[in-house]
């Protein structure tokens, strides 16, 4: 699994231009935790794509938590699920 939260890039050497550069810029992706584990949790983005995310900076996490991911690492949490 990789961190392809933005889906496959149009071609090598280019980010997904239409949706912005989600990997190297000041943009991050909201995801939901499916399997809580540390240091890497399995998460899913809005399009149903799954991948592992480093969660050391927002731990502890649990299934259902919503996180903001940048560069494969969660930098913030959006909310804690009820």
Partner 1 sequence: MRYVDEFRDANLARTLSTQIAAVAEPGRHYKVMEVCGGHTHTIYKHGIEDHLPETIELVHGPGCPVCVIPMGRVDDGISIARRPGVIFTCFGDMMRVPGGDGSLLDAKAQGADVRFVYSPLDALKVARLNPEREVVFYAIGFETTAPSTALTLMRAKAEGLTNFSVMCNHVTIVPPLKALLESPDLRLDAFIGPGHVSTVIGCRPYEFIPADYGQPVVVAGFEPLDLLQAVYMIMLQLAEGRSEIENQYGRVVPWEGNLRALEVLQEVFELRPYFEWRGLGFISQSALKLSDAYRDFDAELRFDVPGVRVADPKACQCGEVLKGVIKPWECKVFGTACTPETPIGTCMVSSEGACAAYYNFGRFARSTARAGS
Site for partner 1 in 35-64 (CB under 8 A): 39, 46, 54, 56-58
Q: Which of 34, 62, 64, 75 binds partner 1 (CB under 8 A)?
A: 75
Q: How far is CA 5 from CA 29, 44, 56, 70, in A?
A: 7, 8, 19, 9
Nearer to partner 1, 20 or 37 (CB): 20
Smaller CB distance to partner 1: residue 36 or 72? 72
Residue placing its CB nearer to partner 1 in the complex, 2 or 82? 2
Q: Give yes or no for a contact between 14 and 54, defined as CB atoms under 8 angstroms apart.
A: no
């Amino acid at each position: 699994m990789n961190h392809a939260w933005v889906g496959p890039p149009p071609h090598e050497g280019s980010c997904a231009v239409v949706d912005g550069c989600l990997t190297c810029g000041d943009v991050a992706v909201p995801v939901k935790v499916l399997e809580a584990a540390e240091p890497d949790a399995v998460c899913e983005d809005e399009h149903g794509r799954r991948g592992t995310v480093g969660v050391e900076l927002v731990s502890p996490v649990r299934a259902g938590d919503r996180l903001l991911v940048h560069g494969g690492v969660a930098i913030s949490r959006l909310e804690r699920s009820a």
